[in-house]
Each structure stands twice: as C-alpha cells, then as structure tokens.
Chains A and B, each alone.
Chain A
Amino acid sequence: MTELLRANVLANFAFYRRSRLLLAFMLVFLVLTALISLPPLFINSGVQSFNSLHEIFSTLNGFLLFLAGGLGLFIISSHLRNRSLKMVFTKPCSPALWLTSAFLSAVAVSFLLHCIVLGGAAALSLGWHLPVRGGLVFVSMDTFLASVGIIAYMMLLTTVVHPAIAVTFALIFNADLFYEFQRWTMAMIRSGNSSTALHALEKLFHYLYLLLPMVYAFGKKTEGIHNSLRVARRLEICTVFGCLRHGAFGVLLLRSPVRIAEEKAHLSFDVEQFWLGQGVVDHAARSVEDAGQYDFSFRRCSHFQRSDVLHQVLLYR
C-alpha cells in the first residue's frame, strides 16, 4: 500500500513538473506579480510598501487558489483523456488508491507553492524593512486549506463530468450563488409572498448551499487578518486549530452542525440588515470604529473594514 502510494505520488509529481499548461499558467502569474512588485522598489514609504506587500501576497494567494483547482482538474482529466489509467487499474492498485495518491500529490504541490509564496512574502517584508507579520502564516495556511477543499471539489467534479463542464459548474454554481438565491427567496417570503413553491425553493437553495463547498468557511471571521496580516499572539494557536478544522471540512466537502448553525446565524442577521434596514447604521459605525485600530488604510476598503453588509448598504443607497 505504502509502496503503491509512493509510486503513484512520484509519477504524479513528474506529471506536474512536466505539465506545460500548468507551467505556462504559473509563468503568467509570476510575470504579473513581478510587474506589481516593481513600483514599490522606487518608493520609500512604509505604508506604500505594506500596501504593495499585501497586494502581491493576496494576488499570489488568489492565484494559488485558482491553481489548486487546476491541479485537481488537470491530473484527473489528463489521465482520463489519454486512458493511461488502464495500465494502473489492471495492477493491484485500486481506483480509490490512485485517486488518493492524485489528491495527496496535488495537495503536496499546493503546499510547496504556498510555502514558496510565504517565503517570498517574508523575504519581501525583510527587504522592504517591514515587520514579518504572523498574519502571513495565517493567511497562507488559510489559503492552503481552502486550496485543499478546491482540489477535492475539482477532482470530484472532473471524475464525474467533462473538465469544461466541471469548471463552468464550479465557477457558476457555487455556494455563494445559492446563498444569494436563498436570501432572495427569504426576503420574498418575509415581504408577504408565502407561496409553497417559494418555500420549497428556499429549502432547495439552502440545502444546495450547504452541499456545495465554499472557499473560505470562516471568511467573515478571518477577513480582518487577511486585510491587516496581523494575528494576536494568544490567538495564533487558536487560529491554527481553526484553520485545521476549516481544512478538514474542505477535504470532506461537508460542514459540521456548528458551521451550519453559524451560517444560519449570519444569514438571518444579513437578511435583517439588508431588507429591514435595522441596525445598518450601528453595524457600519462599528466597522469604521474597528478599522480605526488598523495601522494602515487599504486601497480597496478605503477607511473601514470590508463587510458584506456594509457593501450592500453602500450599493443600495
């Protein structure tokens, strides 16, 4: 069993190493990142340097999330397309074992790339005379564990349908879409339309939302760390455990009852904020107040912490 896993993982590493498509994909992103990192070389402002570091780090992490999908997708689709698996399954190597090895290989490659990006970000911090923040490690771990979920999801989809359909499905029919649909149906119900079909739709969207994996399971809770790259020392261990729990969900493509309860709580709160207008001012004020604790302002978020509710408030004003 160990020998089989080892043999398959080594072969899969060779696949990733020699996949021109993946290499080209990585090259494009590296060039883009290099272009982004050029201006700060000529600026001496610490704020600008931090902004650039944040930009580069989040761009690369975003890229690694996309790449994670590619790692999961290509390894399955490529082997299915060239039918080489016949040579594997007609030996004492079961499809489940091969799939496990493919998953482990993709996860290992993703982990390596995250380590490189983290190392690069740390090196940039030192090079630009910025403190190396614990948030870098947290964000890397968070993104890596999100990548694990994406790899698993893309592998699952690619084994079932054509890769093009898998990509389309993953991009369009994701948890966020059904979350929005559910909010919409709930709002309709609350505004007085209580037809059976609408209730059925609301339930359908809810269960689809629960069924489909999401990139960041604790997006709202970790948003601050992603933006400030700061983690309170006492909370570091807790966040690591949080990440691991999140990752475990990603792997299993399931959510725990705790998570479901959390999501439900968020959902009802957001609906209340959005449709009834109660507490919006309080929430926005709280966000601005929170943002005041940050050292730097961020380009995207102007003066306050990003918040879905706040964004929606701004959009609908």
Chain B
Amino acid sequence: MIIADNVNVHFRRGLLRKQVRALTGLSLEVREGDFFALVGQNGAGKSTAMYCFLGLLKPNSGKVQVLGRTPDLGSPLYEGVAYLPEEPHYHLYLTVEEATRYYASLYGKSIPTKSVDQALERLGMAEFKTLPLSKCSKGMKQKVGIAQCLIHETRLLFLDEPTRGLDPLMVREFRETLRDIHQRGATIVMNSHVLSEIEMLANRVAIIERGKVIVQDELRNLLTLDQELYSVAFEGNGVVPDYLTSIERLGNLVKGSIPKEKLYDFMDYTRISGLHVHECSLKKISLEDSFFKIIKGGGAPA
C-alpha cells in the first residue's frame, strides 16, 4: 500500500539558511488493511513522513510509493485517499453541511444531499448542519473530515494527531468511528503521541527517531508479557516486602512488581499478614514501556 525506501528530506531555515534534516533514510512499509501507527517524539519526523506519503512534500532523495504510484498532488491516485490534518485546517467560512459536501465533491463525483445528511446524522452532526466551521469545536471539525470517508469508500486514510485536543467522550466516539472505517476495509495510517490510543487501535507500529524508523513491527510483538515479573496489588499494612519494586500507593492499596522467584514468598507474606490481594498477574509490557525502552536503548526490546 505504502512503500518508503531510504527517504531523505531536509529544509533550510532561518536567515542563515541552516539545514534541518527532517528525515534521514526513512524506510517503512504499510500493507493493505493495516491500522498503522507512526510513533515518535516531537520533531522525530512523523508529520514530515506523512506529508511525503501525501505528496505535500517531495523527498530530496529516496522513493515513496503510495498505492503503487509516486504521490503527485491532485492526481487520480487520491481517488481512494483521505487525509485529516493535525490542526483542523479546514475551510472555516463554510458551514458543516457545505464543507462535508465540498470535501466529498472533490473526489469528482456529484454528491446527493441524502448521502451528506446520512453521514452527518451518523456522526451526530445533523443538528449543526448550518453552523459555520469557524464556530465549531475541534472535535466537530474532525467529524466533518471523517464524514468524507463515510460518503466515499476510502481505501487509505491518513490521520495526523487525530485525537489531540479532544475531550474523552469525543475521543471514544472518534475511536469507534475509526474502528468502523477500518473494519469496512480501509487502510489507516495514523500519527499520534497518545500511546494508549495506538494500543487500542493499531495493529502495526513504526517508531521514528530523528527522521529514521528504528522499529517497525506488529503491535502484539511489542506488547508481550514479561515472563520475569508479576504485577501485584494488595491492601497494605504499612510495611512492604523489600523485593517489591515500582511501588505505587493509592490509599490502602499498594501496587508494585515482584520477581518471578519471589511469588511464593509474596503469597506467604500476604497469607501470614492476612492481607487482601486484588491482583497478581504476569506483568504486561505496554506500548509506552516498549517505546521508552526502545528510545532509551536505541533498538527493539528483547
């Protein structure tokens, strides 16, 4: 679906035209049907990579292919592509209905009013049809962007920080809509800082660091169970065993990790002390853990 091979992008900025290297040999592959997430720190090159995939930026060197073609602005390649920008840079002078119709019409087909109404109804925007986009919240604007994907069968959807600045309720609604679009067969490429969000949605992840992909893998491979540590949560009595690490206290509740070989000691400790155990399970490595491990270690987790 998308192939980036050794892509280099550099800009010149400031009065002295200092060179900034945004992408340095970025290579990745997005397969059909993927929910692909680009993860990285601020300035890592996620958005630049996305701009290259969209044809908004021409790489200085390297090859980018989207749906088998080199992206060229406005070409027929974009018939199955939709993009939701990081900031809702939409046509603010249009109303919700006008903008939805406009964006959908840009695919070159006449859009029946019924289709627009249905898409807006589905996203809970029907009552705001006549509201100008300049007066809409960010979430509402994002829904207008999503509406075009519901009107057309989008094959490839690019999302740049889609949930940034949205309230939790809106995030949940948005997540459900994205799942729905993905289930209908769309390939989704998403940039995000919200790792928990990616954990819930993506099936493949690329971690970008300084303009380069340092890890590209299935999400499930990054979210393995740590066979050496147990996560425990119990009602404490003030004293905790010395092998308990990563301690967190929430009132009486004590959370932490214990090594595998200390499991039976921990059981004895809670039984003798008469403590109530809330949780005891093999510790899961979250995407956040993997991400930090990779970023700090400079490579894939063991």
Contacts and interface: CB of A to CB of B under 8 A. Distances in A.
Interface string A6-26: 111011001100110000000
Contacts of B93: 14-15, 18-19
B56 A90 contact: yes
A83 interface: yes
Interface string B229-263: 00000000000000000000000000000000000
Contacts of A89: 55-56, 73-74
Interface string B32-62: 0000000000000000000000111000000
B83 A7 contact: no
A4 B89 contact: no
B105 to A, nearest CB: 4
A159 to B, nearest CB: 14
Interface residues of A, number: 28
Interface in B57-113: 73-79, 81-83, 85, 87, 89-94, 98, 101-103, 105-110
Contact of A7 (B74, B75, B105, B158): B105
B149 to A, nearest CB: 12
Interface in A88-105: 88-98
A91 B85 contact: no
B89 A88 contact: no
A264 to B, nearest CB: 42
A90 B91 contact: no
A45 interface: no
Contacts of A19: 93
A92 B76 contact: yes
A91 B98 contact: no
Contact of A4 (B73, B105, B132): B105
B55 A11 contact: no
Nearest to B56: A86
A86 B78 CA distance: 12
A83 B93 CA distance: 13
A83 B86 CA distance: 11
A1 interface: yes
A87 interface: yes
B106 to A, nearest CB: 4
Q: Name the residue among A7, A96, A97 with the largest chain B CB count within 10 angstroms.
A: A7
A82 interface: yes
A191 interface: no
Contact of A14 (B54, B79, B81, B94): B94
B73 A7 contact: no
Contacts of B85: 83, 86-87
Contact of A91 (B90, B92, B94, B106): B106
A93 B89 contact: no
A96 B75 CA distance: 11
Contacts of A83: 85, 87, 89
Contacts of A96: 74
Contacts of B56: 86, 89-90
A92 B94 contact: no
Given A92-B74, A92-B79, A94-B74, A87 B91 contact: yes
Interface of A: 1, 3-4, 6-8, 10-11, 14-15, 18-19, 82-84, 86-98
Interface of B: 54-56, 73-79, 81-83, 85, 87, 89-94, 98, 101-103, 105-110, 132, 145, 158
Given A90-B158, A94-B74, 4 more contacts: A10-B102, A82-B92, A89-B55, A91-B106
7 contacts: A3-B108, A18-B93, A19-B93, A83-B89, A84-B92, A87-B106, A91-B82
Nearest 8 Cβ contacts at the A-B interface: A94-B74, A7-B105, A91-B106, A83-B89, A90-B83, A89-B73, A18-B93, A92-B78
